[in-house]
Structure 1
Amino acid sequence: MIKFFRKIRQKMLAENKFSKYLLYAIGEILLVMIGILLALQVNNWNENRKLRINEISALKEVRRNVDQNIIRLKSFSENDSRLINTGKKLITIFKDENSIYNDSINTMFGLVGTYDPYYAIDGAYENLKQKGLNLIQDDDLKQVLIELFEQSLPNLEQAGNAFEYEVSKRKNDMAISYFETGRTFFSMRPNNFNELKNNQEFFNFLTWAMAAKKLTISHRKNSLDETNKAKYLLEKYLEEIDK
Structure 2
Amino acid sequence: MLRIFRHIRKWLMEERKIRRYLLYALGEILLVMIGILLALQVNNWNEQRKAKIKSITYHERILEDLDIFISETNQAMKRSTSIRNLILETLDFLESKNLPEDKVRVFENTLHFYYQIPYRHPSLTTLDEMRSNGDLSLIGNLDLRKKLIQLDQDILSNDEVLVQIGYQSQNPVFYIDQFVRSIPDTSSLTSRGIKVNSKFNFESMANDEKLINYFSKFSVQWSHHIMFSKGLNESANELREAVSQELENLK
Q: How do 1:58-77 and structure 2 match up within 5 A?
A: 58-77=58-77
Identical residues among aligned pairs (%): 26
State the alpha-carbon separation in 2 of the partners of residues 168 and 82 from structure 1. Answer: 22
Measured after TM superposition, the shift of residue 52 of structure 1 is 2.3
Structure 1, 100-109 or 82-91: larger mean CA deviation? 100-109
Q: Aligned-pair distance for 1:186?
A: 6.5
Relative to structure 1, is the Cα distance of residues 161 and 75 closer, same or farther in structure 2, using a 3 angstrom cutoff?
farther
Q: CA deviation at 1:17?
A: 3.8
Bigger CA drift: 54-63 or 92-101? 92-101
1:36-51 aligned within 5 A: 36-51=36-51
State the 1:16 CA deviation. Answer: 4.4
The Cα of 1:202 is off from its aligned counterpart by 1.5
Q: Please tell me whether the aligned partners of residues 141 and 234 of structure 1 are also in contact (alpha carbons under 8 angstroms).
A: yes
Specify every segment of 5 or more residues in structure 1 that has no aligned partner in the other structure, as ranges. none
Report the number of matched residues: 239
Contact 1:65 1:122 in 2 (8 A): yes
Structure 1 residues 122 and 72, CA, compared in 2 at 3 Å: closer, same or farther?
same
CA contact (8 A) 1:114 1:168 kept: no
Report the residue type matching 1:83 in the other structure: I
- Go from structure 1 to structure 2 and tell me whether the alpha carbon gap of 1:222 and 1:186 turns closer, same or farther (over 3 Å shift): farther
Amino acid at match of 1:77: M
Contact 2:87 2:215 in 1 (8 A): yes
- Higher percent of residues as strand: 2
Q: Cα–Cα, structure 1 residues 222 and 51, in superposed 2: closer, same or farther, change >3 Å?
A: same
Is 1:143 aligned to residue 146 of structure 2? yes
Q: Does 1:190 align with 2:200?
A: yes
In 2: Cα distance, 1:135 partner to 1:98 partner: 62
Deviation readout 1:112-169 (Å, 9 max, x if unpaired): 33333324234333322222123433322322222222x1111222221331453365
CA gap 1:134/1:186 in 2 versus in 1, 3 angstroms: farther
Note if contact 1:160-1:219 (Cα within 8 Å) is conserved in structure 2.
no
Distance change (3 Å), C-alpha of 1:187 and 1:223 = farther
Change (3 A) 1:188 1:115: farther
Structure 2 gaps of 5+ residues are 186-194
TM-score normalized by the length of structure 2:
0.81
Cα distance per residue 1:209-238 (max 9 Å; x no partner): 111111121112222223223322322222
Instruction: State whether structure 2 residue 117 is matched by structure 1 residue 108.
Output: no
User: Secondary structure in 2 aligned to 1:22?
Assistant: helix
Q: Which moved more, 1:130-139 or 1:165-174?
A: 165-174
